[in-house]
């Protein structure tokens, strides 16, 4: 038997290796995507990749990966190279397709070598189909299957680089020429968990509108599974609801359609059943996401903001009684009750503490428990809870970025600006433009030299952009601290820096009144 070196040579000797949408050359120097884009790998990335592909579906410890990096490696560098490799492989979101994290142990390569079986290249593959010989030699059944496959591919085309083959449709047909009975089951891969099911009766000729509705139902079931987490009890590392929804939108719509997919699916779900409690709460979360991600200044108009918060508050209270025993959704309800700033802090604390004490939803609970401590003014308790949450985050994930940003805002509240900046610098996988925009929220109050890219952005923005930055900082950060001095610390950097450049009008009247009221309290 050969050693590890022989295995590496065997891998390198393969002419071309394909995983999902990537085809690698014989030396794993370059990979080509199906869209023609080239992905070039560094020596360190290639070293880990070779080790992974020679040992698929096997746990690789951090020590093994560190050994593959050689003398250039370090314990922290393992995570850094893994995250960089994931970004190049487009291995994002809640559902990994290349490298899976085994928390506290290491990493596993989960991508299968390319299969020639039809239907496995897209997000939803076609699995076992029974009864294709029904209905006069199977012509009608085959027409249904062919049309369904095309409809599913059309609805998940933007997800082709996200998680190919992670769901599979199984079907069964029976009947005669006039009526064809069909049952379909959508399963998650691996594991085989049933995500959705549908039963149809088709007549001759096959109605394409019926096929369209069937495909819509299966995609909606997939979205509910990813965004809502299904019916299984939450694990200690499972993400909060808003991050599940974010991941579902990326999975189905690509980065350019973040949250739009959620909006479309929720509008569909609420049209079918306006009183369904999970859909109600997710719609409330969608409304809040629109506020956080919105642009154009009007988003934070006090009148419009109050109307949106009225709707969020009403939705949360309407669905809350039906969410007993659903810890992730009750934690999301607590998050929203704090977010609307309507005096529901005690209820939010009750919901969050009960969900934490009565379930295993640790990772989902720590961020909201920390925010509640920060609101009360106990910043040290908040930092401890954020640090506990960070221990459960996958390095470089959206979840880690979310917790890091929350912690950085709490450090600003303590006027610990250098520490806040250090936390900000840990953010991973964020594009340069987004990093610059977020960096404006962490501007130092004094006129010291800024990083070149941030300084250039500050030179380019005008008074309206600056006004949006100040307004956003107040509504999305400062007002979540009830201690006036802490809220003022959060505002201090961008408010003082931008006021010196653009004048006092950079802060809307309602923001100045709120800060003045806090100082006088």
DSSP class per residue in 2-57: --HHHHHHHHHHSS-EEETTEEE-TTSSEEEETTS-EEE--HHHHHHHHHHHHSTT
In terms of domains, do 149 and 64 share one? no
In terms of domains, do 247 and 386 share one? yes
In terms of domains, do 293 and 387 share one? yes
The model's confidence at residue 118, banded by pLDDT at 50, 70 and 90, is very low
Q: Is 77 left (phi over 0), alpha (psi -120 to 50) or beta?
A: alpha
Mean pLDDT computed over 304-318:
93
Mean pLDDT computed over 427-443:
79
Using CA atoms, how far apart are residues 464 and 300, in angstroms rounded to an integer? 13
Least confident span in 160-164, 417-421, 458-462: 160-164
Using CA atoms, how far apart are residues 258 and 207, in angstroms rounded to an integer? 32
Domain at 39, CATH number: 1.10.10.10
Q: Could you read off the pLDDT of 444-455 as tens digits, one per residue?
A: 888 777 778 788
Question: Is residue 67 one of the residues assigned to a domain?
Answer: yes
Residue 169's contacts (CB-CB under 8 Å, 6 or more residues apart) are: 124, 125, 126, 127, 148, 152, 184, 185, 186, 187, 218
Question: Is residue 405 one of the residues assigned to a domain?
Answer: no
Phi, psi of 194 (to 5 degrees): -75, 120
In terms of domains, do 77 and 130 share one? no
| Cα 305–chain centre separation | 25
Per-residue pLDDT, 160: 45
Q: Is 197 left (phi over 0), alpha (psi -120 to 50) or beta?
A: beta
Mean pLDDT computed over 393-418:
91
Domain at 306, CATH number: 1.25.40
Residue 180 and residue 134 in contact, taking contact as beta carbons nearer than 8 Å: yes
Question: Is residue 406 one of the residues assigned to a domain?
Answer: no
Domain at 147, CATH number: 3.40.50.11830
Q: Which of 202, 228, 254 is the last residue of a domain?
A: 228
In terms of domains, do 83 and 134 share one? no
In terms of domains, do 262 and 382 share one? yes
In terms of domains, do 237 and 217 share one? no
Q: Which of 204, 228, 252 is the last residue of a domain?
A: 228
Per-residue pLDDT, 192: 75
The range of the structural domain enclosing residue 325 comes to 233-395
Q: Which of 419-448 are b and which e, b meaning 16 or more Cβ less than 10 Å from the residue's Cβ? A: bbbebbeebbeeeeeebbbbbbbbbbbeee
How many structural domains compose the chain? 4
On the question of pLDDT at 170 being above 70, the answer is: yes
In terms of domains, do 130 and 220 share one? yes
State pTM to two decimals: 0.75
Question: Is residue 479 one of the residues assigned to a domain?
Answer: yes
In terms of domains, do 359 and 374 share one? yes
Residue where the block lists tokens 């640090």: 387
Average predicted confidence (pLDDT) for the chain: 83
Per-residue pLDDT, 85: 87
In terms of domains, do 12 and 50 share one? yes
Question: Is residue 415 one of the residues assigned to a domain?
Answer: no
In terms of domains, do 389 and 282 share one? yes
Using CA atoms, how far apart are residues 376 and 383, in angstroms rounded to an integer? 13
On the question of pLDDT at 311 being above 70, the answer is: yes
Q: Which of 85, 109, 133 is the last residue of a domain?
A: 109
Per-residue pLDDT, 127: 76
In terms of domains, do 221 and 297 share one? no
Q: How far is CA 463 from CA 239, 276, 348, 509, 516, in A?
A: 37, 44, 37, 15, 22
Question: Is residue 85 one of the residues assigned to a domain?
Answer: yes
Question: Is residue 115 one of the residues assigned to a domain?
Answer: no
Per-residue pLDDT, 429: 67
Top mean-pLDDT range of 167-181, 252-266, 274-288: 274-288
Least confident span in 83-87, 150-154, 301-305: 301-305
Question: Is residue 105 one of the residues assigned to a domain?
Answer: yes
Share of the chain above pLDDT 90, in %: 38
The model's confidence at residue 43, banded by pLDDT at 50, 70 and 90, is confident
Per-residue pLDDT, 491: 93
The model's confidence at residue 315, banded by pLDDT at 50, 70 and 90, is very high
């Amino acid at each position: 038997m050969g050693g590890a070196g022989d295995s590496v040579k065997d891998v390198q000797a393969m002419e071309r290796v394909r995983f999902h949408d990537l085809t690698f050359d014989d030396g794993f120097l370059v990979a080509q995507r199906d869209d023609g884009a080239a992905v070039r790998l560094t020596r360190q990335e290639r070293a880990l990749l070779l080790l992974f592909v020679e040992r698929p579906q096997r746990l690789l410890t951090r020590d093994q990966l560190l050994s593959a990096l050689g003398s250039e490696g370090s314990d922290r560098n393992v995570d850094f190279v893994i995250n960089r490799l994931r970004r190049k492989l487009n291995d994002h979101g809640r559902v990994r397709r290349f490298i899976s994290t085994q928390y506290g142990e290491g990493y596993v390569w989960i991508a299968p070598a390319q299969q020639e079986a039809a239907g496995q290249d897209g997000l939803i593959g076609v699995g076992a189909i029974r009864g294709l010989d029904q209905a006069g030699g199977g012509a009608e059944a085959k027409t249904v299957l062919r049309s369904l496959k095309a409809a599913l591919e059309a609805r998940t085309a933007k997800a082709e680089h996200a998680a190919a083959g992670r769901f599979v449709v199984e079907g069964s047909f029976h009947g005669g020429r006039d009526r064809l009975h069909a049952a379909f089951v959508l399963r998650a891969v691996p594991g085989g968990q049933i995500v959705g099911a549908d039963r149809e009766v088709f007549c001759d000729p096959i109605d394409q509108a019926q096929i369209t509705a069937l495909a819509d139902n299966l995609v909606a079931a997939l979205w509910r599974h990813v965004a809502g987490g299904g019916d299984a009890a939450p694990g200690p590392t499972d993400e909060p609801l808003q991050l599940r929804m974010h991941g579902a939108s990326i999975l189905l719509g690509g980065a350019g359609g973040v949250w739009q997919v959620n909006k479309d699916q929720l509008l569909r779900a609420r049209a079918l059943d306006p009183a369904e409690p999970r859909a109600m709460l997710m719609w409330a979360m969608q409304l809040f996401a629109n506020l956080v991600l919105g642009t154009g200044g009007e988003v934070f108009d006090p009148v419009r903001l109050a109307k949106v918060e009225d709707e969020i508050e009403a939705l949360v209270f309407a669905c809350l009684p039906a969410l007993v025993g659903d810890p992730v959704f009750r934690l999301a309800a607590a998050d929203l009750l704090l977010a609307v700033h309507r005096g529901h802090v005690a209820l939010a604390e009750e919901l969050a503490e009960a969900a934490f004490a009565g379930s295993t939803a640790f990772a989902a609970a720590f961020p909201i428990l920390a925010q509640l401590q920060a609101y009360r003014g106990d910043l040290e308790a908040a930092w401890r809870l954020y640090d506990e949450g960070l221990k459960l985050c996958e390095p470089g994930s959206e979840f880690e970025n979310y917790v890091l940003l929350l912690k950085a805002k709490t450090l600003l509240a303590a006027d610990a600006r250098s520490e806040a900046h250090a936390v900000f610098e840990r953010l991973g996988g964020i594009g340069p433009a987004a990093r610059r925009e977020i960096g404006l929220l962490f501007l130092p109050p004094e006129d010291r030299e800024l990083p070149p890219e941030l300084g250039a952005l500050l030179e380019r923005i005008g008074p309206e952009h600056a006004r949006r930055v100040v307004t956003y900082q107040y509504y999305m950060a400062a007002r979540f601290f009830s201690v006036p001095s802490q809220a003022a610390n959060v505002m201090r950097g961008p408010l003082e820096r931008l006021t010196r450049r653009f004048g006092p009008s950079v802060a809307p009247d309602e923001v100045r009144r709120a800060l003045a009221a806090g100082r006088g309290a």
